[in-house]
Homo-oligomer: A and B are copies of this chain.
Amino acid sequence: MPTIYDVAKKAGVSSMTVSRVINGKRDVKPETREKVLKAIEEIGYVPNSLARSFVLQKTKTIGLVITDITNPFFTTLARGVEDTAMKNQFSVIFCNTDEDPEKELLYLEVLARKRIDGVILASASGKRAPLKSLLIKNIPTVLIDREIEGLDDLDVVKGDSVQGAYLLTKHLISLGHRRIGIIVGNRNISTAEDRVEGYKRALAESGIPEDESLVKFSQYSREGGYNSTKELLSLKNRPTAIFGGNNFIAIGALVAIREFELKVPDDIALVSFDDIESLSQVYPFLTVVTQPAYSMGVIAAELLIRRIEGRDKIEERRKVILQPELIVRESAGEKLAEGVRGEGR
C-alpha cells in the first residue's frame, strides 16, 4: 500500500504538502495541488485513516450498543443513527448484547480500546451499571431508550414510557376492561419499570385495585411474551386484556393466545407498546402505542456528535423525552364501557 511519502516523492513535494491537499487545507498553490492530485491518482493512494486517527486521537467512529438489531424498533433506531452518522462523516460499529450485561461490558471494552469517539447505548445493565467505572466517564455517551440508575450525568434520549403505558391502559379501561395483564422486560430495565408505573397510574386513577398476579416482569422477547401470556391465561381469574410491553412480547402473546384458541379481541383484548410495522402495514388491527424510533436514533446521534465535536457550549446533561402516540385499531375491542368511571379517550 502506497503511503503519503510515495505520493510526495512522485509529485516532487514533501509529505506535508500531500497531507494538506488531502485534507483540503487552503494554503496550497493550485498547480502544486494538481501535481499532487495526479500523483495520488497514478499511484492509487488511499489515505490511511488509521494513522490519522492515531495522531489526531479521533476515529470518526461511534459505537451503537443495542440489545438486538433484529427488533424492528432497534432496527429503525439504528437506521436513524447510521444516517445521521454518515451525514457527519462518522462510521458506526454495531453491537448486539441480547440483554446480557456481560456481553455489553465486553463490547464496551472493545469499543474503548478502539478509541471510538462516542457511544450510543441502550443498556441491558439496568440499575446495577457495572459499566459505570469503566469508560463511560471518559467516552462521550448518550443513553438511548433506557436510562441507567446512578448514571445521571449522561445524555439520554428516550420515549416517555410512563405516559405511553398510561395511555394504553387508559384506553383499555375506557373500553371496559378492569382485569388487565401486563408483560414487560427484565425488572431493572428502566422501560420495564416505567411501563408498569404508567399502567398502575392509570389503574389507580380509575380506582381499579392492583393485582400483582397480573404484572409480569419477563423478557423483551417472543418467548417472554409467550410464556407470560400462557401464565396469565391460566389464571383462574383470567384477565380480559393483555398489555404487551413491547412488539416482541405482543407477538409471543398472539401466539399463546392462538394456542389457547382465543380470539382477539372477542375473547381477549391485546395491545402493544411499539408497533409491529410489517404487520400493521398489511393488516392493521393491533392497537398500539408507538415511539418515534428513527427520530430517537437521529437525535441521539446528533447529540453525541455535537458533544464529540465540542460544538456544544453547554456542558450539562441533556435529556430528551419523546412522546409516544396511541394508535387505536381493533385489537382492544370496541365494547362499550360498562360501569367504568373512566373519561374514556
Contacts and interface: CB of A to CB of B under 8 A. Distances in A.
Interface stretch (A46-54, A144-152, A212-220, A309-317): A46-54
Interface size class of A (residues with CB under 8 A): 35 or more
A93 interface: yes
A251 B61 contact: no
A83 B70 contact: no
A50 B82 CA distance: 22
A23 interface: no
A83 B112 contact: no
A53 B61 CA distance: 15
A79 B282 CA distance: 25
Given A54-B54, A76-B70, A251 B281 contact: yes
Contact of A255 (B49, B96, B255, B281): B281
A75 interface: yes
Across the A-B interface, the 4 shortest Cβ-Cβ residue pairs: A49-B113, A254-B282, A50-B115, A276-B278
28 contacts: A1-B138, A46-B109, A46-B112, A48-B113, A48-B115, A49-B113, A49-B114, A49-B115, A50-B50, A50-B53, A50-B54, A50-B115, A51-B54, A68-B79, A70-B76, A75-B75, A79-B96, A82-B96, A86-B96, A91-B93, A91-B114, A92-B94, A251-B281, A251-B282, A255-B281, A279-B279, A279-B282, A279-B283
